[in-house]
Copies of this chain bind each other. A is one copy, B any other.
Amino acid sequence: MAAPEEIEPYTARLLIDCADQPGIVAAVSGFLFEQGANIVSSHQYSSDPIGGRFYLRTEFFLEGLAEDREGFRRDFDAVVAQRFAMEWEIRYWGERQRVAILVSRYDHCLMDLLWRWRRRELDADIVGVISNHPDLAEEAVAVSVPFHHVPVAKSAKGHAEERMLELLCGNVDLVVLARYMQILSGEFLDRLGAPVINIHHSFLPAFAGANPYRRAREHGVKLIGATAHYVTAELDGGPIIEQDVARVDHRQSVSELERIGRDIERLVLSRAVSLHLEDRVIADGGRTIVF
Contact = CB atoms under 8 A, between A and B. Distances in A.
Nearest to A282: B250
Q: How large is the interface on A (under 10, 10 to 19, 20 to 34, 35 or more residues)?
A: 35 or more
A46 interface: yes
A263 interface: yes
A205 interface: yes
A288 B250 contact: yes
Interface string A12-40: 00000000001101100110110011111
Contacts of A156: none
A250 B287 contact: yes
A26 B32 contact: yes
Interface string A148-174: 000000000000000000000000000
A282 to B, nearest CB: 9
Interface stretch (A85-93, A127-135, A181-189, A215-223): A215-223
A261 to B, nearest CB: 12
Contact of A255 (B3, B49, B204): B3
A225 B223 CA distance: 10
A291 to B, nearest CB: 9
Given A22-B38, A205-B206, A250-B289, 17 more contacts: A22-B37, A25-B25, A25-B29, A25-B33, A25-B42, A26-B26, A38-B49, A41-B251, A45-B250, A45-B251, A49-B61, A121-B259, A206-B206, A218-B287, A220-B239, A220-B240, A221-B243
